[in-house]
Amino acid sequence: MLVLLAAVSLATAVDAERAFIRDSHTQGQWTAFRKWADSSAVMFTPQTVWAQDYLKDRADPPTSIDWAPANSWVSCDGRTAINRGPWTSASGKAHGYFTTIWMQSHSTWRWIYDGGADLPVPMALPKKVRSAQASCKNLAQVPAAYRGAVVATARIAGRPPADAGQGRSADGTLIYEWKVAADGARHFLARMWNGRSYKLILDQNIPGPQGS
């Protein structure tokens, strides 16, 4: 019964995000990041790194950052989602926004992409989430290359991940890609199936550390 209740309580990626946030405050920031990251998850420093390698042995700060999802875009099958929202440091002196991709497997949610950027003006943490789900109409028209089982990013021992990548939901109704330039600038795109074609939902250009 307890297992069933846990699965129900984490029915969506928003539920998972909120559990992630709670864990960051009760268990420690990097402890929570490690707990919720998939083995193939990537982060940006600003170049692409394997999240579990980067987070290994990182000491938790005294107080975690705080964040909250403002938007959630969900695949037709409900098992892949992109969450976006603001974050703020414990001191309130640093702030920005995050974009996290979540995937569910066997009722367990794990994030596979975590990227964000600073903002010059802080955004209030939202109390409500605006959710949008991909259409389940005309799925046979989704390109065959975008349908089928999702294979995790291949990991080669001792090698960093590529500074470009792409992914999708198993049903192909939510697709995304990213690329990191030599100076650390990052471009992220995401599209969602509307029943006829793909609609652009996110087009993020994150400057490198020097703003170039």
| Residue 153, number of CB atoms within 10 A of its CB | 17
Encode pLDDT of 73-82 as tens digits: 999 999 999 9
| Residues in Cβ contact with 117 at an 8 Å cutoff, skipping those fewer than 6 apart | 96, 97, 204, 206, 207
Per-residue pLDDT at 179 exceeds 80: yes
Task: Measure the CA–CA gap between 172 and 174, rounded to whole angstroms.
Answer: 6
Cα radius of gyration rounded to whole Å, the chain: 17
Per-residue pLDDT at 143 exceeds 70: yes
> Mean pLDDT score of the chain, rounded to an integer?
90
Which residues form the domain of 27? 2-206
Task: Measure the CA–CA gap between 59 and 91, rounded to whole angstroms.
Answer: 18
Tally of domains within the chain: 1
Cβ(136)–Cβ(79) below 8 Å: no
Cβ(135)–Cβ(194) below 8 Å: yes
Residue 15 lies in a domain: yes
Give the pLDDT mean for 47-64.
95
Residues shown for the chain = 212
Residue 212 lies in a domain: no
Angle ∠(54,25,73) on CA atoms, nearest 5: 70
Per-residue pLDDT at 141 exceeds 50: yes
Which neighbouring-strand residues pair with 195?
Answer: none
Cα torsion at 197, 48, 38, 189 (round to 10°)? -10
Residue 137 lies in a domain: yes
Residue 200 lies in a domain: yes
Give the pLDDT mean for 2-28.
78
Percent share of the chain, pLDDT over 90: 77
Per-residue pLDDT at 84 exceeds 80: yes
Cβ(172)–Cβ(143) below 8 Å: yes
Per-residue pLDDT, 71:
98
Residue 211 lies in a domain: no
Per-residue pLDDT, 4:
34
Encode pLDDT of 86-129 as tens digits: 999 988 899 999 999 999 988 899 999 999 899 998 899 999 99
Residue 60 sits in a domain whose CATH number is 3.10.450.50
Residue 92 lies in a domain: yes
Per-residue pLDDT, 212:
44
Give the model's confidence band at 200: pLDDT under 50 very low, under 70 low, under 90 confident, else very high.
very high
Per-residue pLDDT at 2 exceeds 50: no
Per-residue pLDDT at 9 exceeds 60: no
